[in-house]
């Protein structure tokens, strides 16, 4: 089983990925963390020193390496599905989950932890809100290609067990 978690920055992909991997007894990889290990510096520093294009190329290379692993949950960067053939490769090799979080909640989370978010680091609160909406509009079409869609807002009742049930059910349909 291979599970890829996609969604906007600050949507909770890493948290869900860790919990899902632990619950299903699978290996967990955070794609950004994997890339940081390979490059020896943070994503924000990769982008600052080598550029956005370089970052996206290395991200693709890292993802393509992971595609060969089995029994794994991968939390992808927010933009990972947007570039090259990444979303197609993920869908072909596993299950793609879109963590679709209410945009106001995403903006709130980004504002609380701006230093880890290179796309937002120089923006004020109103600009962050606008950037979140712009990114969502740009990415929604690719995100919608996911196999499983999990909607989250302040009142959501989605639980880890319900996500696990959806993954197991979809895995049986897709790979049997």
In a domain? residue 174? no
Q: Give the pLDDT confidence score for residue 163 in this predicted structure.
A: 79
Per-run averaged pLDDT (10 residues), the chain, 176 residues: 94 91 93 95 91 95 92 95 96 94 92 80 91 96 95 72 77 62
For helices 160-175 and 13-24, the axis angle rounded to 10 degrees is 70
In a domain? residue 101? yes
Question: Which residues constitute the domain of residue 137?
Answer: 2-164
In a domain? residue 10? yes
Stated pTM of the model: 0.90
Q: Give the pLDDT confidence score for residue 157 in this predicted structure.
A: 66
With 0-12 CB in 10 A as exposed, 13-18 as middle and 19+ as buried, what is 65? Answer: exposed
Q: Give the pLDDT confidence score for residue 117 in this predicted structure.
A: 78
Q: Give the pLDDT confidence score for residue 29 in this predicted structure.
A: 97
CATH assignment at residue 43: 3.40.50.300
What region does 6 belong to: left with phi over 0, alpha with psi -120 to 50, or beta?
A: beta
In a domain? residue 53? yes
CB–CB of 77/19 below 8 Å?
A: no
In a domain? residue 149? yes
In a domain? residue 169? no
- How many independent structural domains does the chain possess? 1
In a domain? residue 171? no
In a domain? residue 57? yes
């Amino acid at each position: 089983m291979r599970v890829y978690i996609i969604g906007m920055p600050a949507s909770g992909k890493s948290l869900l990925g860790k919990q899902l991997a632990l619950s299903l007894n699978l290996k967990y990889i955070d794609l950004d963390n994997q890339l940081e290990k390979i490059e020896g510096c943070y994503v924000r520093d990769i982008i600052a020193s080598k550029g956005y294009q370089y970052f996206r190329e290395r991200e693709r290379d890292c993802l393509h390496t992971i595609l060969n692993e089995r029994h794994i949950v991968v939390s992808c960067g927010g933009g990972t599905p947007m570039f090259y053939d990444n979303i197609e490769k993920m869908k072909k090799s596993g299950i793609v989950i879109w963590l679709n979080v209410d945009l106001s909640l995403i903006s709130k989370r980004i504002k609380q932890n701006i230093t880890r978010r290179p796309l937002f680091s120089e923006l004020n609160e109103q600009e962050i809100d606008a950037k979140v909406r712009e990114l969502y509009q740009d990415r929604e079409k690719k995100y919608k290609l996911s196999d499983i869609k999990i909607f989250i807002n302040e009142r959501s009742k989605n639980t880890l067990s319900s996500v696990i049930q959806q993954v197991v059910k979809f895995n049986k349909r897709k790979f049997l």
